[in-house]
């Protein structure tokens, strides 16, 4: 691995964990730059031999971070390698088994479109490797583990019936970090694109049920279509309440987190990421779901 690694997006749950992992390995100079700090990125980039671009968040954050990095790389004398963390959402509404040759649609909203535009910038940079991540879960993954644990304990999620029979392309956070590290150190992968998700893919119903059991949130409730419609209807109101409560100390914990329509849409989506390339070329290995959920439940217990 190159001795100077710049982590762009070091202030989020993926980037901060990557910084910690790199520093624990020793012999590597790590430059940690927050996703929105373009001035710090400009200062740090000339010394970097490789960059891990790990921007997550809203569509605007994805676009702004990508534009900042690749705009600066165009005028930076050195040409560091880049590992660009993207998302499976760029495939949009495609169904079935999907490998990296599948055309990008990004037709499921602004977030997917932003990821696709950021990928477009990465694709023009010859030394970039693109990782299309699935659903990140595990300790510290607030969106797909922290919030879900609250919904399961409140019995707002469970067995969704037909509404939860879509494919859940889970990726345990430590496995994702291992793939990023492999992409940073492996020669000959520049210009490559890799799907990143565990090979064994449960349905969303199986994910919710097994996670509930690990949390002890039993009995697992069967959620009716009527209840799902109600959740979709009150989600905007809960989101407003969550934002308002966030201004009060500890107030946000008193407001039940809204279940967004995007989650309910994902639970029906039957798309399975083919991960043969990342296994063969980057040596990816996957934490068994039962073990990953055990560790996650312990963290959020």
How does pLDDT run across 30-43, given as a tens digit for each residue?
999 999 999 999 99
CA angle 55, 264, 285 (to 5 degrees): 50
Domain count, the chain: 2
Is residue 185 situated within a structural domain? no
250 pLDDT above the threshold of 60: no
Is residue 158 situated within a structural domain? yes
Give the structural domain span for 145.
Answer: 138-168+198-272+283-301
Using DSSP's 3-state secondary structure scheme, residue 174 falls into: helix
Angle between the N-to-C axes of helices 204-215 and 289-300, in degrees from 0 to 180, rounded to the nearest 10: 50
As to burial, measured by CB atoms within 10 angstroms (0-12 exposed, 13-18 middle, 19+ buried), residue 158 is buried
Residues 6+ apart with CB under 8 A from 273: 88, 98, 132, 134, 169, 195, 196, 197, 201
Mind listing the pLDDT tens digit for each residue in 87-134?
999 999 999 999 999 999 999 999 999 999 999 999 999 999 999 999
In this prediction, residue 178 carries a pLDDT of: 98
What is the separation of C-alpha 33 from the centre of its chain, rounded to a whole number of angstroms?
18
Domain boundary among 117, 133, 149: 133
Identify whether residues 156 and 256 lie together within a single domain. yes
- What is the pTM (predicted TM-score) of this model? 0.93
Identify whether residues 11 and 101 lie together within a single domain. yes
Identify whether residues 126 and 152 lie together within a single domain. no
As to burial, measured by CB atoms within 10 angstroms (0-12 exposed, 13-18 middle, 19+ buried), residue 46 is exposed
Identify whether residues 88 and 237 lie together within a single domain. no
Instruction: For 162, list phi and psi in degrees, rounded to 5.
Output: -60, -25
Identify whether residues 148 and 202 lie together within a single domain. yes
Identify whether residues 88 and 156 lie together within a single domain. no
């Amino acid at each position: 691995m190159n001795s100077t690694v710049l982590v762009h997006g070091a202030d989020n749950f993926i980037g901060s964990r990557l910084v910690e992992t790199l520093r624990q390995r020793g012999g590597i100079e790590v430059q940690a730059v927050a996703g929105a700090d373009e001035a710090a990125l400009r200062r740090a980039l000339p010394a970097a031999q490789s960059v891990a671009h790990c921007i997550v968040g809203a569509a605007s954050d994805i676009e702004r971070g990508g534009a900042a990095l690749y705009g600066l790389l165009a005028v930076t004398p050195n040409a560091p390698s880049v590992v660009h963390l993207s998302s499976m959402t760029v495939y949009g509404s495609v169904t079935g088994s999907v490998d990296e040759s599948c055309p990008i649609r990004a037709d499921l909203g602004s977030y997917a479109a932003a990821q696709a535009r950021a990928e477009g910038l990465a694709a023009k940079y010859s030394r970039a490797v693109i990782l299309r991540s699935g659903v990140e879960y595990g300790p510290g993954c607030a969106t797909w583990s922290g919030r879900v644990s609250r919904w399961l304990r409140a019995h707002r999620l469970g067995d969704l019936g037909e509404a939860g029979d879509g494919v859940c392309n889970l990726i345990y956070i430590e496995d994702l970090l291992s793939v990023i590290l492999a992409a940073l150190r492996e020669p000959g992968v520049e210009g490559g694109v890799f799907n990143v998700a565990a090979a064994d893919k449960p349905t969303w119903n199986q994910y919710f049920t097994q996670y509930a059991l690990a949390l002890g949130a039993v009995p697992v409730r069967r959620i009716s279509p009527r209840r799902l419609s109600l959740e979709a209807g009150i989600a905007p109101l809960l989101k407003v309440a969550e934002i308002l409560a966030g201004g009060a100390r500890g107030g946000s914990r008193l407001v039940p987190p809204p279940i967004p329509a995007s989650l309910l849409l994902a639970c029906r989506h039957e798309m399975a990421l083919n991960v043969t390339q990342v296994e063969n070329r980057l040596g990816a290995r996957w934490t068994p779901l039962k073990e990953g959920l055990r560790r996650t439940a312990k963290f959020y217990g």
